[in-house]
């Protein structure tokens, strides 16, 4: 069993036993998996993302419940924490769950709305002015290219003067996709 599957099972067991799984529970388990498998700090971000979310738990619908896990992991890293989160997201949508790509822009809107990632992060990355961490095991140019295409409309919204209406972007996608697997 891989680390993502182990975390997925851990979260499911916690939810079955007590009705929920706290961010602290997830962080402890991810740290334990990191030491067991001797993986890098940034890989913890990927384990957490892929262990918590997938077809069994929609990333766009359930992000808020687990956001504290990722903000904590970002805080534990150096200045590349945001990049490593985004590289994990690129891997998630580009390679692991391409069937869930329709949720990529909605997730990024949540990251922006919740001040996890700033608009300048998205726009400078999309314009190729900011590079991802090439030394990171999660670096994948092909996944980034896929993500740029998926986020084109979102980036257009961010860079337009119209985004004074914070609610305008993303609501129609969430409504349209509300019949997806939760």
Question: What does the pLDDT average to over 63-79?
Answer: 94
CB 126 within 8 A of CB 151: yes
How would DSSP label each residue in 93-123? IIII-GGGGGGHHHHHHHHHHTTSS-HHHHH
pLDDT band (50, 70, 90) for residue 41: confident
Q: Would residue 182 count as lying in a domain?
A: no
pLDDT average, residue stretch 28-56 = 94
- pLDDT at position 175 over 50: no
Query: Half-sphere exposure (CA, 13 Å, Cβ side) for 22?
Result: 4
Residue 50, in any domain of the structure: yes
Q: Is residue 8 a part of any domain in this protein?
A: yes
CA distance 51 to 138: 16
User: Looking at the domain assignment, is residue 79 inside a domain?
Assistant: yes
Q: Which residue has the higher pLDDT, 48 or 166?
A: 48
Percentage of residues of the chain with pLDDT beyond 90: 82
- DSSP letter for 168, please: T
What is the spatial distance between Cα 89 and Cα 3, in angstroms, rounded to a whole number? Answer: 17
Range of the domain at 162: 3-176
**pLDDT (0 to 100) of residue 182:** 42
- For residue 5, pLDDT over 60 is answered with yes
**pLDDT score, position 168:** 54
112: Cβ–Cβ under 8 A, 6 or more apart, which residues? 118, 119, 122, 158
What is the tens place of the pLDDT at every residue in 72-130? 999 999 889 999 999 999 999 999 999 999 999 999 999 999 999 999 999 999 999 99
CATH number of the structural domain spanning residue 168: 1.25.40.180
The number of folded domains in the chain is: 1
Whether residue 181 is contained in a domain is answered as no
């Amino acid at each position: 069993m891989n680390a993502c599957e182990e975390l997925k099972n851990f979260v499911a067991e916690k939810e079955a036993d007590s009705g929920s799984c706290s961010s602290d529970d997830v962080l402890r388990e991810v740290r334990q998996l990191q030491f067991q498998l001797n993986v890098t700090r940034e890989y913890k971000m990927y384990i957490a993302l892929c262990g918590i979310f997938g077809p069994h738990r929609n990333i766009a619908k359930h992000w808020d419940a687990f956001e504290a896990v990722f903000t904590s992991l970002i805080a534990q890293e150096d200045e590349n924490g945001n990049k490593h989160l985004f590289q994990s997201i690129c891997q998630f949508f580009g390679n692991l769950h391409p069937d869930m790509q329709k949720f990529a822009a909605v997730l990024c809107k949540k990251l922006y709305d919740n001040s996890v990632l700033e608009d300048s992060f998205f726009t400078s990355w999309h314009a190729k002015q900011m590079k991802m961490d090439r030394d990171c095991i999660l670096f994948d140019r092909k996944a980034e290219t896929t993500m740029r295409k998926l986020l084109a409309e979102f980036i257009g919204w961010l860079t337009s003067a119209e985004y004074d209406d914070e609610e305008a972007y993303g609501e129609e996608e969430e409504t349209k996709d509300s019949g997806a697997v939760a």
